[in-house]
Structure 1
């Protein structure tokens, strides 16, 4: 995995710099995310390893499957990836591009798992509190997890805040066991 990220980084950086210069970060992110999803599909992965199919044709297939209208520069970017036999890196390129964009825009995506559905007001209050703590604009993706019993678990990157009843019970069991 680390090797793929290392290979993908220069391509992602080049795409990011070009998108930033064009002031088209959202459009590039949309195209790269769609192409990354297509390239991550198992059937597409098999297609990308087919030695009988020309690399340019593989890029064309990915472009067709995305259903996106792409600019000439975005098309050229995918063709360069094809020429260098790097189309399989599209999921990693999209991930890196999105992290470069988030860093520039000072945003962060946070996954919040809760035992009960959060209202819009609760999500907004949580986003404001996390914004202050993390010094970033926060976008929340809320999911329901009844196994938490109560409370919530906040995840972003390597940061995990477990304020769930299940988490507290686990800590209590561990402390009683030691």
Structure 2
């Protein structure tokens, strides 16, 4: 786990707890965190946030002006806490960790399948069914095409990685032949 993720985790957990205590939906908080993350990586905003001449109050005001209504009072409080602790630029990692914690809390897991060619709906369904059975959770599948795989697929779901790509098989064969 990277240091950045380690620093983001307590904030993501706190937001999960806050959402539960206040009765707000995790999906609403995910939207808020995703908006904040997108804003802080936007180059002109990031440049302003990294400017040492800008004060913490100016940072809070910048975010509030841009996203105040979308973030709501609790979201603005989170922004204030992040600014106070010098962690505002961790917003993308906080959103990412929150997403994983949310999936866990909701009994689902995000999975990604990377293939050389597009899968048909039946193939996707079989993969989702197989992963759901193996992991005992609901699967949120995202697909991506990477023609450098040559064939086969790479599946990532939580900590599970299944690399059945032709590219990795060729790399293993090449290493075996060299040794």
TM normalised by structure 2 equals 0.84
Q: CA 1:60/1:148 → structure 2, altered by over 3 Å: closer, same or farther? A: same
Q: Which runs of 5+ in 2 are unaligned?
A: none
The equivalent of 2:34 in structure 1 is 33
Q: What corresponds to 1:176 in structure 2? A: 177
Q: How many Å apart are 1:26 and its aligned residue?
A: 0.5
1:36-61 per-residue CA deviation (whole Å, 9 max, x = no partner) reads: 12223343332112233232332332
Count residues with an aligned counterpart. 178
The answer to whether the aligner puts 1:152 opposite 2:153 as a matched pair is yes
Task: Kindly state the Cα deviation for residue 150 of structure 1 after the two structures are TM-superposed.
Answer: 1.9
Structure 1 position 31, deviation (Å): 0.6
In structure 1, the residue matched to 2:19 is 19
| Superposed CA RMSD | 2.4
Shift of 1:68: 6.5
Cα distance, 1:30 vs structure 2: 0.7
Alignment correspondent of 1:114: 115
Q: CA 1:6/1:146 → structure 2, altered by over 3 Å: closer, same or farther? A: closer
In the superposition, relative to structure 1, how do residues 120 and 60 fare at CA in structure 2: closer, same or farther (>3 Å)? Answer: farther
The answer as to 2:84 corresponding to 1:83 is yes
SS in structure 2 at match of 1:70: helix
Q: Does 1:123 align with 2:121?
A: no
Conserved? CA contact 1:153–1:160, under 8 Å: yes
Hey, what does 1:98 align to over in structure 2? 99
User: Could you tell me how far apart the structure 2 residues matched to 1:49 and 1:147 are?
Assistant: 37
What's 1:7 paired with? 7
Relative distance call for 1:54 and 1:154 in structure 2 (3 A) is same
Once the two structures are superposed, what CA deviation does each residue of 1:65-118 show, in whole Å capped at 9, x if it has no partner?
459622221122212222333212212221222222121112221221112111
**Greater shift after overlay, 51-60 or 74-83?**
51-60
- Pick closer, same or farther for the CA change 1:115–1:39 going to 2, 3 Å: same
Gaps of 5+ in 1: none
How far apart in 1 are the matches of 2:124 and 2:65?
37
